[in-house]
């Protein structure tokens, strides 16, 4: 699994053109986990 997508420039250099879409599900899962963790924390430790 590659972390980045690469292309070749007109000069023959390898350049990064973006992040790999293979990692999208991991980032979405991490975002959902962070929101759930925050909601559970606020439920257990209510503010004043």
Residue 32 is predicted with a pLDDT of: 98
Mean pLDDT, residues 12-18 taken together: 94
Q: How far apart are CA 14 and CA 21, in angstroms?
A: 19
Flag whether pLDDT at 1 surpasses 80.
no
Q: How far apart are CA 24 and CA 48, in angstroms?
A: 37
Average pLDDT score over the chain? 91
Residue 48 is predicted with a pLDDT of: 67
Mean pLDDT, residues 2-19 taken together: 91
Q: Are 19 and 39 in contact (CB under 8 A)?
A: no
Q: Nearest 5°: CA angle at 18, between 20 and 11? A: 125
């Amino acid at each position: 699994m590659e972390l980045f997508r690469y292309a070749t420039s007109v000069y023959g250099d390898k350049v990064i053109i973006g992040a790999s879409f293979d990692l999208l599900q991991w980032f979405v899962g991490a975002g959902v986990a962070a929101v759930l963790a925050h909601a559970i924390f606020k439920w257990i430790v209510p503010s004043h």
